[in-house]
Amino acid sequence: MPLYSFKTIQIVPTSKDFIDIVLSRTQRQTPTVVHNGWAINRIRQFYMRKVKFTATNWHEKLTKILEDFPKVDDVHPFYADLLNVLYDRDHYKLALGQLHMARSLIDKVAQDYVRLLKYGDSLYRCKELKRAAMGRMCTVMKKQGPSLAYLEQVRQHMSRLPSIDPNTRTLLVCGYPNVGKSSFMNKVTRADVDVQPYAFTTKSLFVGHMDHRYLRWQVIDTPGLLDRPLEERNTIEMQSITALAHLRAAVLYIVDISEQCGFTIAQQAALFHAIKPLFANKPLLVVVNKTDVVALDALAPEDRAVLDEMAAEAARASGAPAGEGALLQMSTLREEGVMAVKQAACDQLLASRVEQKLQGKRIQDVAHRMHVAVPAPRDGMARPPVIPPGVAAARARRDAGDKRRTEKDVQEEQGGAGVYSADLRKGYQLKSDEWKYDILPEIIDGHNVLDFVDADIEARLEALEREEDALAAAAALEAEEMEEDHLTPEQLATLEEIRARKGAIVKAHRMKKAVANNQAVLPRRADAERTATTRNMKSALERMGLDAGAAVARARSRSQSRVGRKRARSAAASAGASAAMDVDGQPPKKRVHSSKSRSMSRGRSLSMAAPAEGKGLKDAAQRNRAVKMGDRAQRRMGKAARRGEGDRHIPDLKPKHLFSGKRGIGKTDRR
């Protein structure tokens, strides 16, 4: 992971925006109204709070800016020099120093005016002191406008810098412009650097990542270098010089032997010798590119001698043993030798890092804790290392060039993708290879299931189907021959009874199914068919083998007693009506009731006015009033009972949180 991430630096506002942000926050988050009758002590506290709050905001925001930007003296030397190259170290430190001084001045102004506000003797004097403090703070920040604008430009540029880890495994690609550095990086990493046929296409450092030996590597593409003094190099070239000077990486110096880059081999060798001090204590490889245009063997003797000398210098600079300074060849256009160059550079860097760790002081702290266990011999038998026969045969075939035939090779031979159909059964491990392509390759007790299938099964099935068809035709013919004309009158009556009963059962079933078995019991007057009679009950019980005499007698006795009670009540009513007449044949005087009882219907008033013992009410008026009160109490419950899920109910038409008004500035109480 990179040690530095410049993308998290917050935006630096301009001086005007800075002032608006802080003053607006002060206005929103502090009280804004001084009421009449306040004591002078409370007025002082009011304005002191505003001054302190504003100074605290300035201090926090300036501190955040100073902490976000990296300090030149605290970062890695590579980033320190890169900051110096891109932004000018002195200008950068001066801008941060001015913000630091502005923060101190604002704190000093707030401290002084808070001290003066403690002795303010009137509302006007306290208010003017507050305005003076705010004005001086804003004046200090207005003077920091150029520094804030410069830091914002620096932040935007730093956010676009690549995330380079100076301590991880790194390959550094350098050389003249247009020699193939970016093309090599695009081949070995997942990066996509712009490649064009002209010089200085790459104007900054680009980083790509790759995997080698299960490790993560970063590859840095540097801008092209020209052979000229250091003080004449521009910003683009100085980025490459900075990376070569500070990064612990394997350096790949790429040479264009076709000279299509516009520089001869001698000029490229001169640049190599000019920057040779930057290669000290680093693995160095000289790689010749564009061998597809000009082969290495086709070069002139003097050019070949120059390249061999560069390779020898590279071997000596990297501390490699003698004989390992050979030139590496590649062609990024045809991708020839690219992976070999990558592997050679990675191996040299790993060996160099291991050697440096062995020469350091930390290895001594670990060496005494390392122990190599050697097993004690258990007998006198020799057990030398041995390679399994299968592995040895595979290695022999590989060395002989006998490539293992893969499924893809078979596919290409038989028409390619979309034409070739893979044989999925050829790898089946069965007892007999003949079973691989059976229709049912299932094995039970060592036998194929298909072996138990009868060969005449289809013929037998057809015979069985013909027999079933013949039986069905005979049954249909027999049914047609049986007609109602041949039945006796008793049989016809039985048939009609069966059909009627079957129809009634079907009708009852359909009726119950239509109402989901949720039909209420019909009263006697709604029973048009008179099914609930004693005769039907008697016949039904006798069909079940039960004696229905007692049940029929009980039902008839209840019916007769009910009829007798009705006749008795009607006789008593007629007798009462005649007794109500006076002796002279005149009707009695009407009884006087209250207005409430007269407003009710005649039947209702008579029923309620009837004497009822044990009610606790003395007269009919109280009884009528009690009935009305009960009805009124039941009305609300009746409404609630009729309310459903779809009924809309608004418990509060004007909730307080929506109709209590907007809070003022500096207030948190909405009431």
* pLDDT tier at 41, thresholds 50, 70, 90: very high
Distance CA 152, CA 146 (A): 10
Identity of the highest mean pLDDT range in 205-219, 467-481, 520-534 = 205-219
Closest CA to 181 of 164, 201, 160: 201
Second-level CATH architecture of 6-157: Up-down Bundle (1.20)
**pLDDT class for 485, splitting at 50, 70, 90?**
low
Per-residue confidence (pLDDT) for residue 362, from 0 to 100: 78
- 8 Å CB contact between 438 and 447: no
> What percent of the chain has pLDDT above 70?
82
Residue 581 above 60 pLDDT? no
* 11 pLDDT tier (thresholds 50, 70, 90): very high
Question: Strands 250-256 and 170-175, how do they pair?
Answer: parallel
- Least confident range from 51-55, 92-96, 542-546: namely 542-546
Closest CA to 110 of 65, 56, 153, 186: 56
Q: What angle do CA 248, 249, 252 make, to 5 degrees?
A: 150
| Mean pLDDT, rounded, for 268-277 | 90
- pLDDT given for residue 642 in this prediction: 66
On whether the pTM is more than 0.85, the answer is: no
| pLDDT at residue 437, as a whole number | 81
Letter string b/e over residues 536-554, b meaning 16 or more CB atoms within 10 A of that residue's CB: eebeeeeeeeeebeeeeee
Least confident of 356-360, 390-394, 552-556, 615-619: 615-619
d(CA 104, CA 577): 115
Residue whose C-alpha is closest to residue 11's, from 161, 159, 139: 159
DSSP string for 190-258: S------SSS----S-EEEEEEETTEEEEEEEPPP--SS-GGG--HHHHHHHHHHHH---EEEEEEETT
Residues of the chain with pLDDT > 90: what percent? 31
Average pLDDT (586-599) is 46
More confident residue, 597 or 277: 277
Mean pLDDT across 176-191: 90
> Which of 266, 245, 249, 244 lies closest to 257, judged by CA?
266
Highest mean pLDDT among 244-253, 548-557, 627-636: 244-253
Tokens of 197: 């046929």
Between residues 116 and 529, the one the model is more confident about: 116
Residue 625 contacts residue 599 (beta carbons within 8 Å)? no
pLDDT at 90 over 60: yes
pLDDT at position 446, please?
A: 64
pLDDT band at 655 (very low <50, low <70, confident <90, very high): confident
Cα–Cα distances in angstroms (integers) from residue 244 to residues 78, 375, 537, 614, in the given order: 9, 49, 115, 115
Sign of CA dihedral 621, 623, 625, 628: negative
Please list the residue range(s) of the chain that carry CATH number 1.20.120.1190.
6-157
Query: What integer best gives the mean pLDDT of the chain?
Result: 82
Residues of the chain with CATH 3.40.50.300: 163-360
pLDDT recorded at residue 395: 86
- What CATH number does the domain located at 163-360 have? 3.40.50.300
DSSP 385-448: ----HHHHHHHHHHHTT-PPPPHHHHHHHTT-TTT----SSTT---SSGGGTT-SS--EETTEE
As a whole number of angstroms, the distance between CA 322 and CA 448 comes to: 70
Q: What angle do CA 258, 262, 266 make, to 5 degrees?
A: 70
Q: How far apart are CA 437 and CA 179, in angstroms?
A: 60
The mean per-residue pLDDT over the stretch 445-453 comes to 67
For the residues 158-168, what does the mean pLDDT come to? 86
Segment 501-546, tens digit of pLDDT: 898 888 888 877 777 666 666 676 666 666 778 888 888 888 878 8
Residue 1 pLDDT > 90, yes or no? no
Residue 591 clears pLDDT 60, i.e. is over it = no
Q: Count how many Cα atoms sit within 13 Å of the Cα of residue 539 in the half-sphere of its side chain.
A: 5
Residue 611 has pLDDT above 50, yes or no: no
Model confidence pLDDT, tens digit, residues 318-374: 766 544 556 899 999 888 999 999 999 999 999 988 888 888 777 777 777 888 888
- Indicate the range of 134-143, 384-393, 516-525, 567-576 predicted with least confidence: 567-576
Three-state SS for 477?
A: helix
3-state secondary structure 506-572: HHHHHHHHHCCCCCCCCCHHHCCCCCCCHHHHHHHHHHCCCCCHHHHHHHHHHHHHHHHHHHHHHHH
Q: How far, in Å, CA of 609 to CA of 597, rounded?
A: 9
pLDDT at site 188: 92
Has residue 57 got a pLDDT over 90? Answer: yes
Taking only the tens place, the pLDDT of each residue in 621-643 is 888 888 888 888 887 777 766 66
pLDDT at 258 over 80: yes
Q: What's the average model confidence in pLDDT over 213-220?
A: 91
Of the listed ranges 375-389, 558-572, 610-624, 651-665, the one predicted with least confidence: 558-572
Long-range (24+ apart) CB contacts under 8 A made by 414-421 are: none
**Region 566-588 average pLDDT:** 51
- Which of the four pLDDT bands, split at 50, 70 and 90, describes residue 572? low
State the average pLDDT over residues 194-217. Answer: 87
Q: Which two tokens stand for residue 77?
A: 């030397």
Amino acid 404: pLDDT: 74
* Tokens standing for residue 252: 């790949």
Whether the per-residue pLDDT at 261 is higher than 50: the answer is yes
The confidence score (pLDDT) of residue 586 equals 47
Residue 130: is its pLDDT beyond 60? yes
State the Cα–Cα distance between residues 290 and 197, nearest whole angstrom. Answer: 13
Contact 229, 263 (CB under 8 A): no
Residues 87 and 328: their CA atoms lie apart, in Å, by 38
Is 662 a residue whose pLDDT tops 50? Answer: yes
By mean pLDDT, which of 44-58, 286-300, 310-324, 342-356 is the weakest?
A: 310-324
Could you tell me which residue, 122 or 394, shows the higher pLDDT? 122
- Which token pair is 139? 């004046």
* Predicted pLDDT of residue 650: 76
pLDDT at residue 561, as a whole number = 67
Tell me what pLDDT residue 599 has.
46
pLDDT interval class at 603 (50, 70, 90): very low
Q: What are the distances in angstroms from CA 502 to CA 479, 497, 542, 561?
A: 20, 8, 20, 38
Q: At what angle do helices 89-117 and 145-159 cross, to 10 degrees?
A: 130
Give the per-residue pLDDT at 6.
83
